[in-house]
Chains A and B, each alone.
Chain A
Amino acid sequence: MPGMFSELAKLDNWSQWSIAPMAIVFAGAVATTLIAGFVKDSTRRSFIGQISIFCLAIAAAVNYVQWTGGWQDPGRLVWAGSMTLDYLTMLMNFVFIGCAILAILISLNTISELGIEYGEFYPLILFATGGMMCMVQATDLLMIFIGLEVMSIPLYIMCGMRRSQDRSAESSLKYFILGALAAGFLLYGVALTYGATGVTSLHGIQRWTMENGGLAANPLLTAGLALILAGFAFKIALAPFHMWTPDVYEGAPTFVTAFMSAAVKAAGFVTLFRILVTGFFQNGYTASLVGWGEIIAILAVLTMTIGNFSALVTKNVKRMLAWSSVAHAGYAAVGLAAAPAAGADGVGGVLFYVIGYALTSFVSFGVVAAFEKQNGGLSQVEDYRGLGYSQPFYAFAMTVAMFALAGIPPTVGFLGKWYVFKAAVEANITWLAVIGVLNSLVSVYYYLRVVVAMYLESPEEQAEQEPIKSSALWLAVLISTVLTIGVGLFPKKPLGAVEKSVSPMFVKK
């Protein structure tokens, strides 16, 4: 690629402006790293968190300016064709920034309760956020890989931040080793794709496949796609690449778990469908012997079923939510499986689903975080007995989350299911929608169990059910609960944004 450098030199101002939100987040990350290095006083640690929120807010503001017209010609390629700024990127930037802010709010006071004495948590979460932003903004496989790594490495560290806990160390190590393996798969897939087509940019791959007779004509490219798919299936925990999820989610500090299940999953799904739709779609799908739609449909069935049945027999609330997170990846994948036939509706379903799930996850894990302590705290479903009367606010939030996860209207969870199942029916894979709803039936049982414990049962002996005193945590749970119901009731604007984001991907040029 000798032309790369000279092309870089010819960059216009648009390139810099296009990555402004991401650059702000990274700048904040570097700055907070320095502060974390120089501030030793543990009482001033939450100050770093506040600075981080401030940086994220600025990034959100810039992103808002871009969304409302500060960026002409959405979808144009910048940075020598390796990045783009379309509505999808901007929408996801909002999501990632929102997730980071919520995770920080949850962490502000709970972090010391868990015995984590490092201010470095905040720069790490900023780095991870920046990595996600890079990942969804990239239109080049190498750039995507860089984004993925920048996202993952801070997460490996954050998982292991409760150093005194064996589970936390296990979580970190497991995630790291398997994550590295998955990254290897992904990179190998990228290499094979490059070997086959001679390019790494998604548009280049698409052009190549259109000119050279599609995916099936080239086994090397098919193998590359399969490996890329496997790499991402790991990140978003699609069965059979899901084995790490319960251990990692359970062992990590809860605010990290919330961030992972919300933001990482969203980032993985969005990047995956960008790769599939932009790089491997038009000719690629019709010409290949086995379309990726079918493969993902099978993965979706496996994921939903394994996730739900495993959650059914799990008694630890956090672990149960981790399994349910696997199941929800399966529901979202239903939309992806429908994408080849249903087009923007399928991908829109995925997008709406993961955003909705992100909100719900912050409610559920936020409540878990409120009762997670260094010694003791609430962990099993039985520990939640009578919470509805001792802690009405958190119990109510948890109930909303449970019903939203079960897909009961009028929550965002129901709309998400409606959207993806609609796409499945539209794509003529009604059987997948039927399996999906049957899975919901299984899932409703274990979600109900939490509600039953909180409201219908009373503890044998009055257990200690004091939440961690933290107005930031309270605020985070409140915001996400209100949004979970609010978006469910008035989804017009969010749905409009989703549609605006995904429809350009399917415009035939």
Chain B
Amino acid sequence: MPAQYYPMLMIIALAGLIAASMLTLATLMGPYRPSKQKGEPFECGSPSRGSLHQRFSVKFYIVAILFILFDIEIVFIYPWAIQFMSLGMLAFVEMMIFIAVLVAGLAYVWKKGALEWEE
């Protein structure tokens, strides 16, 4: 049984090898000339200011979560759309139920004000 996993093992080994060799080669052969400007977080000319650890508004998270939530649904809808004809009525009804649940969720989120940026 393990025999069928040998190609997998080889790919993993190969990937490791390539990554390791690139890093090693770059360290060994690349030129190394550090300077103050290069040590800055951004090399855009103006000096950086303020703390690195900044608080973001929690609204960003909510938007990100909602985006992922509704975006992921495409994964389910897309294959269904491609196979629409062969799947028939049952799958159609099921997808409608699925979308109805999504809509309910959207309505809830909307009503709760999660989509509003300004209070």
Contact = CB atoms under 8 A, between A and B. Distances in A.
B90 interface: yes
Nearest to B112: A37
Interface in A5-26: 5-6, 8-9, 11
Interface in B66-119: 79, 83, 86-88, 90-91, 101, 104-105, 107-108, 111-112
Contacts of B79: 5
Contacts of A34: 104, 107-108
Contacts of B87: 5, 8-9
Nearest to B89: A9
**Interface bin, chain A:** 10 to 19
Contact of A37 (B1, B90, B101, B111): B111
B101 A30 contact: yes
A479 B112 CA distance: 37
B91 A33 contact: no
A435 B111 CA distance: 56
Contacts of A218: 1
A389 to B, nearest CB: 47
Given A5-B83, A30-B101, A37 B107 contact: yes
Contacts of A5: 79, 83, 86-87, 91
A431 interface: no
A461 to B, nearest CB: 46
Interface in A34-52: 34, 36-38
A11 B90 contact: yes
Contacts of A8: 87, 90-91
A9 B86 contact: yes
Q: By DSSP majority rule, is chain B's interface helix, strand, loop, or mixed?
A: helix
From A6, A11, A37, name the one whose CB has the most chain B CB atoms within 10 angstroms. A37
B2 to A, nearest CB: 9
B108 A33 contact: yes
Contact of B88 (A9, A33, A38): A9
B62 to A, nearest CB: 15
A36 B109 CA distance: 11
A91 B112 CA distance: 37
Nearest to B87: A9
Contact of B104 (A6, A9, A11, A30): A30
A8 B92 CA distance: 12
A33 B111 CA distance: 11
Contacts of B101: 30
B86 A33 contact: no
Contact of B91 (A9, A30, A37): A9
A142 to B, nearest CB: 15
B108 A6 contact: no
Contacts of A36: 108
A386 B87 CA distance: 68
Nearest to B83: A5
Given A5-B83, A38-B111, A33 B90 contact: no
Contacts of A9: 86-88, 90-91
Contact of A6 (B86, B105, B111, B112): B86
A52 to B, nearest CB: 16
A218 B2 CA distance: 11
From A9, A11, A36, name the one whose CB has the most chain B CB atoms within 10 angstroms. A9
Contacts of A30: 101, 104
Interface of A: 5-6, 8-9, 11, 30, 33-34, 36-38, 218
14 contacts: A5-B83, A5-B86, A5-B87, A6-B86, A9-B87, A9-B88, A9-B91, A11-B90, A33-B104, A34-B107, A34-B108, A37-B108, A37-B111, A38-B111
